[in-house]
Chain A
Amino acid sequence: MSSLFAQEVPLSWYLLLSAVLFSLGVVGFLIKRNLITVFMSIELMLNGVNLSFVTFAHQWHAVKGQIFVFFVMMVAAAEAAVGLAIIIAVFRARATLAVDRIDRMKL
């Protein structure tokens, strides 16, 4: 058992997981109608990317990737604050969160 734990998880597993997370995010972004779900899909994509950052940082023993992840998390937090504020404002104005019906900015 101990040998199983001592063994390292191979790089490709992490990257595969990261790709799956990102793709889930993309698909969710494209097919979901609720604005909040769309928003959560974005977070999913960001975290997919974060995971590959960390993976590569570990692989190459470079701390830059880890630092980048902190940056992404920070921006994601700010984005969440602003994005949720916008969503609330949209809901107050239009009483709906259906993405398809928020299309008044077209020509």
Chain B
Amino acid sequence: MNAHLYLWLIPLLPFAGFLINGLLGCGLPKWLVTTVALLASLASFCVVLNIIPALHPGITVCKGCAIPQGSPILPYIETCPLPWINAGLLHIDFSFVLDQLSLVMLLVVTGVGFLIHVYSVGYMGDDKGYARYFSYLNLFLFFMTVLVLAGNALVMFIGWEGVGLASYLLIGFYFQKKSAADAGKKAFIVNRIGDFGFLIGMFLLVANFGTLTFSEIGAKLNATPAWQGGVLTIIALCLMLGAAGKSAQLPLYIWLPDAMEGPTPVSALIHAATMVTAGVYMVARTHVLFNHSPVALGVVATVGAATAIFAATIALVQNDIKRVLAYSTISQLGYMFLGCGVAAYSAAIFHLMTHAFFKALLFLAAGSVIHAIGGEQDLRKMGGLRKKLPVTFAVTTVGVLAIAGIFPFAGFFSKDAILYAAFLQGTNGKILWFVGLLTALLTAFYMFRLWYLTFMGESRSENVHAHECPWSMRGPLLILAALSVCGGWIGMERFGDFLAPSVGARAISWHMQIPYSSFAISMEFLLSVVAVLVALEGWMIADKFYRRKPERPAQYAAALPAGYKLLANKYFVDEFYNAVVVKPLLAISKYFLELVVDIGILGGAAWLLGGIAQLGGAILQRWQSGNLRSYAAWLAAGAAAVLLFLLVPWATVLAILPAIHLGMAGH
């Protein structure tokens, strides 16, 4: 049978790290805190790595070849032996499942997670909350691995809420700063809206399927291929609302830019590489539902494409280096949802993986820049840093090339796979493809803008003490840079074949639909060339604006004041939400909930109860006269009453009483 993989160790090790550093961290010396945190994440990563050789014969897709004895068969399920929830017909086990999809995610989460732990040692080196920071980071890894390993929606929900908590704690890490505390609250509250969708989706799953286990839902749906749309659309849309909250899609993306208040490694790990991709992962995990609802898929694709281009346009004019990256993250997440929406789930997961590499790299590099020039985040005050920070400059260049989609960097392969999959989806697909392509142009432009403003030209501030970061930060940067270069070389087809058992055959339809013909291959090639040319065009424009003619951006901004203002203020979405949602909500809370419900109804009820008790007490008080003979009289009266009650045959008396009465009336 199956070998033991000890999946439960993967989340539990970081949790142990969290407990040690969280409970005892203040008293431990710094080197011990570092050791515990790094060991916890490294050990978790090693457990994941250890799975791969155990699986090796099983995971290579060789149709018909026998799987040797003792190697686990995917999906491999590990269930807690104790029952978890038994409510009538509903049985939910605390189960973990390992399949190709969760394996890829686990590698990304624990691998990138460990690198960012290492980086944080240097970055957070002289922070007072060192132990607190690492305990939160380990807590995040714990919940994220629970989320990824979940075998049913409820376990996933635990991880889902948990990463939300870790995200809240880390965004508000500098809690003395009001903006950071507010940003944490904002992230938490906006995510609540998404979680509401996730919850409703789960209730509907229980009502319609009687189970929350992904594999059972999938089996049930595969058994009834004719079951399309209807309640499935509603469930899928509810889940999509949850995914949109967690993955910062329209219209719930507003929390992610503000989340940049957290420490930069946190932005890299949680708000770029792993947590925000949980929505994409969830859609891929429940892809069977989406496959049964063309409407929901259309919504996912549209939301993804709209978010991609919407966020990309905002990123064009932002001046805070981390905000540019934040909007870029939203935009790239839009790409992933676009991929999911055209049922190219493996392409979406492929982009998720490469994005984790290059976006973590870009954030960490940005952190290195910020660290080097003393906390400055404004692009307008940077410039000319390429000589002072050669390593950071080199790795940023790699990251920028990767995200722009230049061949042969990682982003090229995954973005290309999504665009190609969209292109093959009929007329609507062509529109989605065009939007994606336009986004690619904008992406290349704003990333090279960031690159030029940060590293090229002359320094625009008097700060000349810029210094390269320590090795603990440089190491992760170099590894992530290497991954950003070669991460895509595995190739979409091989990756798609690997994931096919998890995310379904339809996911690889882009090369199943059109059989391998010269047409398909030339088409794919042509589209790739177009995509690269578009990316290079974006670079050229950025080059023109920020190197050759640096006065141009200001001229354009002056020529189009309304457009510039719209973008610089992020389409006034925050203001819009503030006016339409937050203000009315506060008004209702104040005037209706506080004055009427709280003070009026709840407070009034409490006063009423208290008043009745006091009045009753005041009346009964008179009974307690203190006079011995009055007590004795009451006692005797009570005894007499009891005797009367027991001795008189009431039934008989009541029966003959009317007779006596009538007899008397007769006389």
Contact = CB atoms under 8 A, between A and B. Distances in A.
Interface of A: 26, 29-31, 38, 99-100, 102-107
Contacts of A38: 628
Nearest to A31: B629
Contact of A29 (B624, B625, B627, B632): B632
Contact of A99 (B621, B625, B629, B636): B629
Interface string B613-652: 0000000010011111100110010000000000000000
Contact of A103 (B621, B628, B633, B636): B628
Given A30-B632, A30-B633, A100 B627 contact: yes
5 smallest CB-CB distances across A and B, nearest first, come from A106-B626, A103-B626, A99-B628, A103-B627, A105-B626
B626 A26 contact: no
Interface in B225-239: none
Given A30-B636, A99-B627, 13 more contacts: A26-B636, A29-B632, A29-B636, A30-B632, A99-B629, A100-B629, A102-B628, A103-B625, A103-B626, A103-B627, A106-B627, A107-B621, A107-B624
Contacts of B624: 106-107
A102 B628 CA distance: 8
Nearest to A99: B628
Contacts of A99: 627-629
Interface in B126-178: none
24 contacts: A26-B636, A29-B632, A29-B636, A30-B632, A30-B633, A30-B636, A31-B629, A38-B628, A99-B627, A99-B628, A99-B629, A100-B627, A100-B629, A102-B628, A103-B625, A103-B626, A103-B627, A103-B628, A105-B626, A106-B625, A106-B627, A107-B621, A107-B624, A107-B626
Nearest to A26: B636
Contacts of B632: 29-30
A60 B11 CA distance: 79
B331 to A, nearest CB: 76
Interface residues of B, number: 10
A31 B125 CA distance: 90
A54 B23 CA distance: 74
Contacts of A102: 628
A45 to B, nearest CB: 10
Contacts of A29: 632, 636
Nearest to A27: B636
Task: Tell me the interface secondary structure of chain B in the complex.
Answer: helix
A91 B628 CA distance: 16
Contacts of A30: 629, 632-633, 636
Contacts of A26: 636
Contacts of B627: 99-100, 103, 106
A6 B632 CA distance: 43
| Most chain A beta-carbon neighbours within 10 Å: one of B624, B625, B632 | B632
A81 B159 CA distance: 74
A29 B564 CA distance: 101
Contacts of A105: 626
Contacts of A100: 627, 629
A31 to B, nearest CB: 8
A29 B626 CA distance: 16
A97 to B, nearest CB: 12
A100 B621 CA distance: 19
Nearest to A105: B626
A31 B629 CA distance: 8
A104 B628 CA distance: 11
Contacts of A31: 629
A106 B621 CA distance: 9
Most buried by B among A30, A102, A105: A30
A14 B339 CA distance: 104
Contacts of B629: 30-31, 99-100
B624 to A, nearest CB: 6
A39 B88 CA distance: 66
A8 B627 CA distance: 46
Nearest to B621: A107
Contacts of A103: 625-628
Interface string B207-250: 00000000000000000000000000000000000000000000
A30 B634 CA distance: 10
A29 B634 CA distance: 12
A105 B629 CA distance: 14
Contacts of B626: 103-107
A100 B629 CA distance: 7
Nearest to B627: A103
A104 B625 CA distance: 10
A99 B632 CA distance: 11
A107 B628 CA distance: 14
Interface in B8-52: none
A29 B630 CA distance: 11
A107 B626 CA distance: 8
A72 to B, nearest CB: 17
A20 B618 CA distance: 40
A16 to B, nearest CB: 16
Nearest to B628: A99
A30 B608 CA distance: 40
Nearest to B636: A26
A73 B472 CA distance: 93
Nearest to B625: A106
Interface string B329-348: 00000000000000000000
B632 to A, nearest CB: 6
A29 B627 CA distance: 13
Interface in B560-594: none
A102 B629 CA distance: 10
Contacts of B633: 30
B473 to A, nearest CB: 75
A31 B628 CA distance: 11
Nearest to B640: A26
Interface in B76-110: none
B470 to A, nearest CB: 77
A26 B632 CA distance: 9
Interface string B362-379: 000000000000000000
A23 to B, nearest CB: 10
The interface centre, meaning the residue of A31, A104, A107 with most chain B CB atoms within 10 A of its CB, is: A107
Contacts of A107: 621, 624, 626
**Which of B625, B627, B629 is the most central at the interface, judged by chain A CB atoms within 10 Å of its CB?**
B629
A105 B627 CA distance: 9
B642 to A, nearest CB: 14
A61 to B, nearest CB: 26
A30 B621 CA distance: 22
A85 to B, nearest CB: 18
Contacts of B636: 26, 29-30
Nearest to A38: B628
Nearest to A106: B626
